[in-house]
Structure 1
Amino acid sequence: MNGMNDEQMAPQTFLYGCVLESGKEGLFNPEDDELEHQLDLRMACVDPSTKDELHTVEVEGRDSEGQVVKATLVTLKPSTLPSVCLGGFTITPPAVFRLKAGSGPVHLSGQHLIMMETGQSFDESEEEEEELLLLSEEEMNKLGSKLIKAEMMGNTAMIEKLKSQLEAAHKAKENHAARIKQHETAESKKAAGHSSEDQEVLLFRTDKSGRAWPVKGPTGPQEPHGGRRKKKPMETHVDGQRVRYFQDDDSIGLQEMVRREKMSSAQDQNALYSRMAAKMMGKVDGDNYTLDDMFVSSAAQREGEGREEERMRSKAIAESRRLAASMDKCQHCFNSQDLQKHLIVAIGSKVYLSLPAGVSMTEGQCLICPLQHHCSATGLDEDIWSEMQLFRRALVRMFEAQELDCVFMETHINPRRRQHMVLECIPLPRELGDMAPIYFKKAIMECDEEWAMNKKIVDLSSKDIRQAVPRGLPYFAVDFGLQGGFAHVIENEQKFPHYFGKEVVGGMMDLEPRRWRKPIRENFDDQRKKVLQFAQWWKPYDCTKTQD
């Protein structure tokens, strides 16, 4: 029975966090409540207000013989190593954390583990239920088999003991199921209460040029869909002259009509044509009834009051949900939880510089990304674009000092997915850098569709990508240092690979295809070494220091 009781011991986890500053220590020493406590540290990071200096965290604890031991836990620096994943550093209390060097603040976070029996709780109102063990089906079956053996052997004391344990286990299981059901009921009521509350969301729709237009709410009462409700007759003619075509003609001005036309696309026109063609079986008026009148009359009969506004609102809601889903899973937004912040080298006011999470194609490969979620360079504001050019010039100077050239590449594909803009910088040897324009021009001329509606290759030597490619179009752009480069409007996104630029560079350097098709993962130590090495190169050319 002792073995079964040991299996019922399970850790209860609670959040732990402390802030270390100069003269301020962090103490972990829970009260002695006859339970086993452990601290599992997960992360150490600096604060945005932390000075750019070395901050060393020291931990003081006791060894197996009870002697006081001091050890260095981690050393951080905001400009090169702002955070470190400790990977589950476990320590038994008492423990004291202090800053051995630096003024802080430094944040430590982890989990406080308390070993207790399964089903045990801190709630005093459930003291009777704490004594009841919650067993699994397999363990209850084992108890049942032991009970049968005891009955066959005639061991009365063991029979009574096993029966009481089995009844207690059944009672604990019923109570646990009741608590779960009660908790689910409370959560469903809470969710229903939140959903019933009115939430105001400002909806936008993006037109073909990349401009965002606010979508207005319904201007009047909406007509119900379907049913046998008779529609109000619409007066279309006065004194034999047509005065209106649709019910909302009197409420829509020229400005609103222009805005709707800009927001419409070829798909909208096809959908309107389909609705009209499906209901074009109307009455004719001799030879004077033309095909245009047939379409207009049919559309006016089927189009209810405010139906167009409702369609635009539905499209705006769908677009807003797509954008929210894309931002939640974005790996490059600065506020996203999926961003690996230990790969960041420099942070400006609008842009940051980081290294790729996988194995770099060449030593020194880096990424320039906006802090906020922007999809392409053609939609950037002037201040973001200017800061990106500062980072570009600094990188070109840094690689020139190492006798290297570099190429900057951006691939904006599938605009409906609203992916984060990434400007990749890949350094190349001088002899390959001189040949890079020839390689890329040949690859662009042979890619995508043979017959294109747009110009196959756009020269960027005298203008930037914002002036060369209209907003809303998918494109690939490459610049060779500060000398300009080429751009290509993607005609068929299904045939154009998202790794096109890296594939050209990989072919130039004779690399294996998996280096760009599916990036090879790197462990934390290799990533840390890569960041520290790049930070040493970057420090003399750091443009964020001159901005301050």
Structure 2
Amino acid sequence: MGSGEIPLRSKERGRSRSPERMSRDSRRDQRTDSRSKTVSFGADLNKLRAKVMKARLTKSPDLAELEKQLAAAMNGGQPQAVTEQKDKVVVLPRVDSHGRLLSTRSEIKEAARVAPDNLTIEQMARLERETEGEDTADQELAAQIAKDSRFSNDLEYIDDNSERLSRRRQEKTSEQIKQAAVRDYKAMEGMLDSCDMCFKQTEQADGSSLLKPPSYPMIALGNRVCLMLPIREPMNDGHCIIAPIEHVAGSSLKCDDDTWDEIGNFMKCLLRMFAARGQGVVFMETVISTRPSKAGHCSIECIPMPMNKAQDVPGYFRESLLASDDEWSQHRKIIDTTVKTEAAVPKDGDVKDQDRNHFQAREAIRRGGFRNTMTAKMPYFHAWFDPYGGMGHVIENPELFPPWFGREVIAGVLDLPPTVYRKPRRLKESHDQRCERADEWKKRFGWKRYDWTKMLEQE
């Protein structure tokens, strides 16, 4: 390289940028910083809420200090919009009626409009989340066809009227977007107030906020997922429920990888705990509706049973699923979600083989056949018989599929009466009685020995 030549990096660095480009880069940097702060704020807030609930359940002396920290963190959050009503200010969080964090950026939508074929997988996933609930191109075309009384399904007519048929609705104004955010906020608040599984934040007379625990007896609490006892009469003594802390409406498939890591941890701990007592476990999830207002808080039921009966459960579910719904269906009656993995048998206590089995089970739960086979956009039923998967069923006609289907099959295996699974009686308990029932459950089954959430306290 001669003395008069300049390296390419120096050339690029030496170029002067136009004011428009500098302004555009500055706005992009500000959006990136805002997005990273929002994600960090949400993760820290989840951990702080978990610490507050653990302190409340254990009656820790640090409860008052943790509640102050939570109130300060809530007041220091990043709002999206503010709505004033008399003297009360309501901060609209960056979530939709599904309870999921959304971005307010528009550059992905602009990129999809300019070059839709150049989007990355991450951008397409984010675009799908941002535009969920909006009309797609096919829906826009269907709306234009519905308005045309003279429509004829032939290529000549479509070519002659292509401009009118491809006309899209006018983009929403800022006021319409704001009103949509207000509607989503009210819908989300209504779902949280009526949900018995959610942690509710109540305002005190002195202006401070108090985090109220769910109506379900709490056994263990992670950063994103908790283990609870049923609020109604359980099917047996070991019956428990795995549910995310945040309100996820309907399907557990909407949860992210971190949430599924904790779900898998609870599954493996419960399997080990009941296996030590000579029992098998069946995990079940039933999603009857995909509408957030009707779906309710997603949950996975855990029902233990004697090992000899647990081995027959897959056959019972197979026969019951084949006879469910209509005789003719668009989907297979039974969808196998088992991940085929080769288990390593530990030789002379070889830790490497044990670690290999552990990571295989973790990946099967996190990215296994269930998450790759089933979809959250359709109602379904799924049963896990081990961490590697089980069998699923797409519910095509929710009116014909009973919401207690899984419990009914288990009741048939265990010879239980219909009152146990069909409409179990709700238990009327105070907060102290719920805590007492949870403590008795933990002592009876020795949960303390298998509780993985103790590791979180050491962090």
Q: Same fold (TM over 0.5)?
A: yes
Q: Tell me the alpha carbon deviations over residues 362-419 of structure 1, each in whole angstroms, 9 at most, x when there is no partner.
A: 1110011111122322222111111111111111111112211110011123111252
Report the equivalent of 1:228: none
* Alpha-carbon separation, structure 2, partners of 1:316 and 1:407: 40
Report the equivalent of 1:534: 441
Report the equivalent of 1:273: 145
* Alpha-carbon separation, structure 1, partners of 2:90 and 2:214: 36
* Alpha-carbon separation, structure 1, partners of 2:312 and 2:410: 11
Could you tell me which amino acid in structure 1 is paired with residue 425 of structure 2?
I
Counterpart among 135, 141, 158 of residue 264 in structure 1: 135
TM-superposed CA distance for 1:527, in Å, is 4.7
Counterpart among 518, 528, 541 of residue 423 in structure 2: 518
Unpaired segments ≥5 residues, structure 1: 1-46, 53-76, 83-102, 108-190, 218-248, 281-287
Counterpart among 227, 232, 235 of residue 361 in structure 1: 235
Pair 1:524–1:423, CA change in 2 (3 A): same
Report the equivalent of 1:429: 306
Q: Which has the higher contact order (CA 8 A, sep 6+)?
A: 2
TM-score where L is the length of structure 1:
0.51
* Alpha-carbon separation, structure 2, partners of 1:316 and 1:264: 17
Could you tell me which amino acid in structure 2 is paired with residue 358 of structure 1?
R
User: Which one has a bigger Cα radius of gyration?
Assistant: 1
Q: Tell me the alpha carbon deviations over residues 20-42 of structure 1, each in whole angstroms, 9 at most, x when there is no partner.
A: xxxxxxxxxxxxxxxxxxxxxxx
Q: In 1, are the aligned partners of 2:215 and 2:231 still within 8 Å (CA)?
A: no
* Alpha-carbon separation, structure 1, partners of 2:404 and 2:420: 10
Q: Supply the RMSD in Å over aligned alpha carbons.
A: 4.5
1:334 matched to 2:199? The reply is: yes
Q: Report which of the two has the higher share of strand.
A: 1
* Alpha-carbon separation, structure 2, partners of 1:50 and 1:369: 15
* Alpha-carbon separation, structure 2, partners of 1:271 and 1:306: 16
1:499 matched to 2:375? The reply is: no
Q: Tell me the alpha carbon deviations over residues 268-318 of structure 1, each in whole angstroms, 9 at most, x when there is no partner.
A: 54333223x1598xxxxxxx9945434634876xx7754699988877765
* Alpha-carbon separation, structure 2, partners of 1:199 and 1:528: 33
Could you tell me which amino acid in structure 2 is paired with residue 329 of structure 1?
S
TM-superposed CA distance for 1:192, in Å, is 5.9
Counterpart among 431, 453, 457 of residue 544 in structure 1: 453
1:461 matched to 2:338? The reply is: yes
Q: In 2, are the aligned partners of 1:357 and 1:527 still within 8 Å (CA)?
A: no
Report the secondary structure of 1:524's partner residue: coil
TM-superposed CA distance for 1:440, in Å, is 0.7
Unpaired segments ≥5 residues, structure 2: 1-49, 65-83, 203-211, 340-367
Q: Tell me the alpha carbon deviations over residues 116-145 of structure 1, each in whole angstroms, 9 at most, x when there is no partner.
A: xxxxxxxxxxxxxxxxxxxxxxxxxxxxxx
* Alpha-carbon separation, structure 2, partners of 1:51 and 1:451: 50
Residues 40-439 of structure 1 aligned to structure 2 (within 5 Å): 78-79=57-58, 104=61, 193=86, 214=104, 253-255=114-116, 264=135, 268-275=140-147, 277-278=148-149, 290-294=157-161, 296-297=163-164, 306=171, 321-335=186-200, 339-340=213-214, 343-375=217-249, 376-417=251-292, 418-439=295-316
Report the equivalent of 1:20: none
Aligned length: 330
* Alpha-carbon separation, structure 2, partners of 1:348 and 1:194: 37
Percent identical across equivalent pairs? 27
Q: Tell me the alpha carbon deviations over residues 129-174 of structure 1, each in whole angstroms, 9 at most, x when there is no partner.
A: xxxxxxxxxxxxxxxxxxxxxxxxxxxxxxxxxxxxxxxxxxxxxx
TM-superposed CA distance for 1:437, in Å, is 0.4
Q: Tell me the alpha carbon deviations over residues 488-531 of structure 1, each in whole angstroms, 9 at most, x when there is no partner.
A: 12212222222211111112222222222222122438755532
TM-score where L is the length of structure 2:
0.59
Q: In 2, are the aligned partners of 1:374 and 1:380 still within 8 Å (CA)?
A: yes
* Alpha-carbon separation, structure 2, partners of 1:381 and 1:494: 30
Q: In 1, are the aligned partners of 2:338 and 2:388 still within 8 Å (CA)?
A: yes
Report the equivalent of 2:326: 449
Pair 1:512–1:489, CA change in 2 (3 A): same
Q: In 2, are the aligned partners of 1:406 and 1:433 still within 8 Å (CA)?
A: yes
Pair 1:269–1:408, CA change in 2 (3 A): farther
Could you tell me which amino acid in structure 2 is paired with residue 271 of structure 1?
A
Pair 1:530–1:464, CA change in 2 (3 A): farther
Could you tell me which amino acid in structure 2 is paired with residue 454 of structure 1?
H
Q: In 2, are the aligned partners of 1:458 and 1:487 still within 8 Å (CA)?
A: yes
